[in-house]
Amino acid sequence: MKTVIQKKNDKLRMLFQGLLVILGSMLTAYGLESVLIPNNVSDGGVTGLSIVGSQLFGLPLGVLIGILNIPFIYLGYKQVGKSFAVYSLIGITSLAISTSLMDQVPTIIQGDTLLVTVVGGIIIGTGMGLALRNGGALDGIDMLAVLLSRKLPFGTSDLILFLNLFVFIVVSTVFGLTGAILSAIAYFIASKVIHIIEVGLSGSKTFKIITDQPELMVETIRDRLGRGATYQLVQGSYTNEKYKEITCVINRLEDSKMKEIIREIDKNAFITVYDVAEVKGGSFKKNDIH
Amino acid 112: pLDDT: 87
- pLDDT tens-digit series, residues 52-71: 999 999 999 999 999 999 99
- Candidate from 3-7, 57-61, 96-100, 104-108 with smallest mean pLDDT: 3-7
What average pLDDT does the structure give for the chain? 87
Report which of residues 149 and 69 the model is more confident about: 69
Rounded CA-CA distance 69/89 in Å is 9
How far, in whole angstroms, is CA 194 from its chain's centroid?
4
Rounded CA separation 65/93 (Å): 8
Alpha-carbon distance of 68 to 63, in angstroms, equals 9
Mean pLDDT of the region 20-43: 95
Report percent pLDDT > 90 for the chain: 54
Q: What is the pLDDT, as a whole number, of residue 99? A: 95
Q: How far is CA 15 from CA 10, 94, 169, in A?
A: 9, 15, 39
Domains of the chain, earliest start first: 4-199 (no CATH), 204-276 (3.30.70.120)
Contact 76, 49 (CB under 8 A): no
Higher pLDDT, 160 or 220: 220
Q: Give the pLDDT mean for 27-51.
A: 94
Residue 251's pLDDT is 80
Q: Lowest-confidence range among 4-8, 39-43, 170-174, 261-265?
A: 4-8
Average pLDDT over residues 104-131: 92
Judged by average pLDDT, the poorest of 71-75, 79-83, 121-125 is 79-83
* CA–CA–CA angle 71, 73, 77 (5° rounding): 115
- pLDDT the model gives residue 123: 96
pLDDT score at 79: 72
Q: Which residue has the higher pLDDT, 158 or 116?
A: 116
Residues 6+ apart with CB under 8 A from 10: 2
For residues 89 and 155, what is the distance between their CA atoms, to the nearest angstrom?
26
Arithmetic mean of pLDDT, 132-145: 82
Residues in the chain: 290
- Say if CB 185 and CB 173 are below 8 A apart: no
Burial tier of 146 (Cβ tally within 10 Å: 0-12, 13-18, 19+): middle
DSSP codes, 149-185? HTTSSS-HHHHHHHHHHHHHHHHHHHHHHHHHHHHHH
| Res 37: pLDDT | 94
In order of 112, 248, 271, the CA distances from 274 in angstroms are 39, 11, 10
Mean pLDDT lowest among 57-71, 80-94, 144-158, 244-258:
144-158
pLDDT at 83: 85
Q: Record the pTM.
A: 0.77
